[in-house]
Amino acid sequence: MPDDFSQRYWDAAREGRLLIQRCTACGRPQFYPRRHCRHCLAADPEWVEAAGGGELHAFTVVRWTPDAAFAGEVPYVFALVDLDEGVRITCNVLDADVDTLSCGQRVTVVMRDVDGWALPCVTTTERSP
């Protein structure tokens, strides 16, 4: 359940926007949201909207799950994604050809409704020349 701190993040997610934080003292970005900068411990990092672009850092294809709630989802791709803003997130890759994915591939953040929660996922995009 969102609290007073995380409510802004969840409201933006429902609007299709991914918020990350940037420290007002040292300027470094962070994700997941925290009340203090994880780098310099300064209080109250500011909220900034991520542009939504990034690269696959690593991924795995989940082809089997013991959890019946996810049985209809397999195979799915779980990934580490480096956003252009300099933070790494974990998410699923939607609508991907699992046989052609590669580390370094460009992706775009999209929000997906999961049981009433908007969660960040990514889709593959063409690499710019």
DSSP string, 92-105: EEES--TTT--TT-
The neighbour count for residue 45, using CB atoms within 10 Å, is 24
Domains defined along the chain, listed by start: 1-49 (no CATH), 51-129 (2.40.50)
Residue 18 reports pLDDT greater than 60: yes
Tokens of 63: 């082809």
Q: What is the pLDDT of residue 127?
A: 46
Residue 62, Ramachandran bin (φ over 0: left; ψ between -120 and 50: alpha; else beta): beta
Are 35 and 5 spatial neighbours (Cβ–Cβ below 8 Å)?
Answer: yes
Q: What percent of the chain has pLDDT over 90?
A: 74
Q: Is the pTM of this model over 0.85?
A: yes
- What's the mean pLDDT when you consider all of the chain? 92
31-42: average pLDDT: 95
